[in-house]
Structure formats: C-alpha cells, structure tokens
Amino acid sequence: MKNKNLRGGLFMVAISCMMAGAAHAEDGLMVAAEVAADERGIVLNMVVSEEIEERNIVGNKITRLIDANSVVPGDLLVYVTTVSNRSQQLAENVAIVNPVPAHTTYLDGSAQGEGAMTSFSVDGAKNFDAVENLIVTDENGESRPATTQDYTHIRWLLSSLPANTEADVLFRTRLD
C-alpha cells in the first residue's frame, strides 16, 4: 500500500486488491480489507465481495453480495472502496486509484462513484484517460483501442469531500 500527497493536495492511494480462490491458491491470493490514511485525515477502506444471483421464494432473480472466501474462475467480484474525510476541513482533489487485480478482468461500465470522474490506465497507472481514448500496442507493434482486458488501474477523482463525510467507489471483475 502506498500513500502520497501530490501537487495541490491530490491524495492518491493504490490499494492492493487481494482475493481468495481455490483455483489460484498457489498464487497466495486472499480476501482482505485494507486501510490507508494520510495526514489530512483521509482514510480508505476496501472490501471485496462475491456477487451471486439466486432465486427468491417466488422465483424472482435477486443479486446478493457475500464474503469472497472461496471463489473460482468465472465468479464475479465487487470491490468497494470507502473514502472518509475524518478531518474538520474540506478535502479537495481526492483521487482513489485501484489496480485491476491479477487473474481478473474488469467488467465494462462497472466503475461507479457518485460525483467522481472516472478514468482508466493501460500502462500500470502511469497515465489515465477516458475509455474511448485508451490505445495499446499489441505484440506486433500495431496500435488498437484498449479493451477491458487491457485495463491495469481505475482512478476516481472527487473534486471535494466535505469534512466528516465519506463516499464509496466500486468496480466489478470476473475471476479468470
């Protein structure tokens, strides 16, 4: 986990997203909630859950989040990061950066965060842009538009976060 204060009070935290999976046990992946904090009183907490569909008593399909203690390839994972401003002052330019975890594929359109500008990286968080502007170079040296399989990181930018408030951002992946 890495905390940095950058120019203009921009706060960026890269949270390692870890998961459990019988199929990937050899990789040492595990479910974890991680917390990061900076000197301004900005605190991040991440929870990873499995998203399942089931039928209720009358046969309607419902979606639930459960503990991601035992996931297998094909399972859907939901990553919710809560950013809290525990200070008595307005925090400006708060950036939350999450890597798309190894052995997963980001689900198109799943990044959410009320009032946040969302952008993506295909180069290990060196550069971020809107989906339609992302270009990758394939193994033959040819450029092509990036797909969700190329995304390495997601960034949400909150222009401000009032004192003593919190906001959630989230995204979904499918375990490869």
pLDDT tens digits along 19-28? 223 333 333 2
Q: pLDDT value at position 38? A: 76
Give the count of domains, the chain.
1
Outline where DSSP puts E strands in the chain.
2-6, 10-14, 35-37, 42-55, 61-67, 76-85, 91-99, 104-106, 112-113, 116-121, 135-137, 143-145, 153-161, 165-175
Compute how many other C-beta atoms are within 10 angstroms of the C-beta atom of residue 112.
Answer: 14
Q: pLDDT value at position 35? A: 62
Specify whether the CB–CB gap between 53 and 65 falls below 8 A: no
- Terminal Cα-to-Cα distance of the chain (whole angstroms): 24
Q: What is the CATH number of the domain that holds 28?
A: 2.60.40
Query: How far, in Å, are 61, 88, 109 from residue 17 at the CA level?
Result: 29, 29, 19
Domain hosting residue 152, numbered range? 2-175
For 8-26, what is the mean pLDDT? 33
Closest CA to 32 of 18, 15, 50, 49: 18
Q: pLDDT value at position 36? A: 67
pLDDT tens column, 161-173: 999 999 999 999 9
Specify whether the CB–CB gap between 34 and 46 falls below 8 A: yes
SS3 category, 150: helix
pLDDT tens column, 78-135: 999 999 999 999 999 999 999 999 999 999 999 999 999 999 999 999 999 999 999 9
Q: Is the pLDDT of residue 39 over 60?
A: yes
Cα radius of gyration rounded to whole Å, the chain: 17
Residue-level length of the chain = 176
Q: pLDDT value at position 116? A: 97
